[in-house]
Amino acid sequence: EVQLVESGGAVVRPGGSLRLSCAASGFTFEDYSIHWVRQVPGKGLEWVSIINWDGSDINYADFVQGRFTISRDNSRNSLFLQMNSLTAEDTALYYCAKEHDSGWYLDSWGQGTLVTVSS
Amino acid sequence: EIVLTQSPATLSLSPGEGATLSCRASQSIGTYLAWYQQKAGQAPRVLIYDASNRVTGIPARFSASGSGTDFTLTISALEPEDFAVYFCQQRSNWPRYSFGQGTRLEIK
């Protein structure tokens, strides 16, 4: 069974930093592109970033503006999101999600980790 | 940036009725559209990919169509478990993705 488990969410002050993790199991992690998607509770989904299977191809949503860094460690079946210069607008539930093996859509999601940026 | 606009924002229907949800793209995205269902307190679940292909295990009452800029998700004969929020997603301007703002399907 595919499992994605996010962790690292916390309350952080504006301007602060946080590192999110996503632990994967139940599939061959190194074969898949993985995404981060966020959601303000009660609001819509917002795509954040994608990293391909070996980390050689990475992209971010425009709002990231150089503040976030996605990375992965295939030896540990883990995905990361380093977030710097956080603002209140970054407050959200952050999901990691796996792409389907024969397509681009997101076929498995974690349960999310909550990031709250507040003074 | 491709913007996806979903309508209506909220749809109030009764079990057994049919539902039609719309997703419109600000520019042509071919058939690079997926639909997701999200229930309260849960992560999203993909229903449809490439505009009209139902994911394995999704009930046949879910169908979808469209190409270019206009897309539709249809749910025939609503079941109680279908009341949720539905999002569309595009990847036409890969590797940039985006989601619509969602349609809340609520029990009337």
Are A47 and B97 a contacting pair at CB < 8 A? Answer: yes
Are A44 and B97 a contacting pair at CB < 8 A? Answer: no
**Are residues A95 and A36 in contact, defined by beta-carbon separation less than 8 angstroms?**
yes
Q: How far is B24 from chain A (nearest CA, A)?
A: 16
Instruction: Give residues with Cβ within 8 angstroms of B64, minimum separation 6.
Output: B35, B47, B48, B51, B52, B54, B71, B72, B73, B74
Dihedral angle sign, alpha carbons of residues B106, B51, B87, B10: negative
Q: What is the pLDDT of residues A58-110, one digit of tens each?
A: 999 999 989 999 999 999 999 999 999 999 999 999 999 999 987 789 999 99
Residue A14 CA to its chain's centroid (Å)? 19
Q: Which of B46, B50, B95 sits opposite A107 (nearest CB)?
A: B46
Are A112 and B43 a contacting pair at CB < 8 A? Answer: yes
pLDDT at B105: 98
| pLDDT for residue B94 is more than 80 | no
pLDDT interval class at B104 (50, 70, 90): very high
Which residue in B has a C-alpha nearest to residue A35's C-alpha? Answer: B97
Q: How far is B32 from chain A (nearest CA, A)?
A: 9
Q: Where are the beta strands (DSSP E) in A1-119?
A: 3-7, 11-12, 18-25, 34-39, 45-51, 58-60, 68-73, 78-83, 92-99, 106-109, 113-117
**Are residues A70 and A79 in contact, defined by beta-carbon separation less than 8 angstroms?**
yes
Which residue in A has a C-alpha nearest to residue B32's C-alpha? Answer: A104
Q: How far is B8 from chain A (nearest CA, A)?
A: 14
Q: What is the pLDDT of residues B62-84, one digit of tens each?
A: 999 999 999 999 999 999 999 99
- The amino acid at residue B11 is L
**Average pLDDT estimate for A29-38:** 96
**Length reported for chain B:** 108
pLDDT interval class at B100 (50, 70, 90): very high
